[in-house]
Amino acid sequence: MHDRLTFTAWLREQMGRRLISVDGVACELSLPVESVEEWLTGKSAPSRAVCDQVAGYFGAPPSWVWLLSLRSLRGREFEA
């Protein structure tokens, strides 16, 4: 896949394809809006369990979404 793609970039792309807002993603995944906003700004990354939820919603392999999340994190905090 993409060697330099981050979770943030991937999530933005998926949201654009589905024409779904931050509020929409948060609602669909039953998560706080603030969590999704922090992912999109690179302030945090989702946990493994949440990556599985995100992957399921967007139809992506869970392990690949987790890898993107780890790549995006780089010393930042994980978000529940």
What is the distance between the alpha carbons of residues 78 and 49, in angstroms, rounded to a whole number? 11
- Percent of the chain at pLDDT > 90 equals 75
Mean pLDDT of 49-77: 88
**Structural domains of the chain in order of their starting residue, each with its CATH number:** 7-79 (1.10.260.40)
Please tell me which residue, 74 or 45, carries the higher pLDDT value: 45
Q: How many CA atoms lie within 13 A of 20 on its CB side?
A: 19
- Percent of the chain at pLDDT > 70 equals 88
pLDDT in tens, 23-39: 999 999 999 999 999 99
pLDDT of residue 77: 47
pLDDT of residue 74: 66
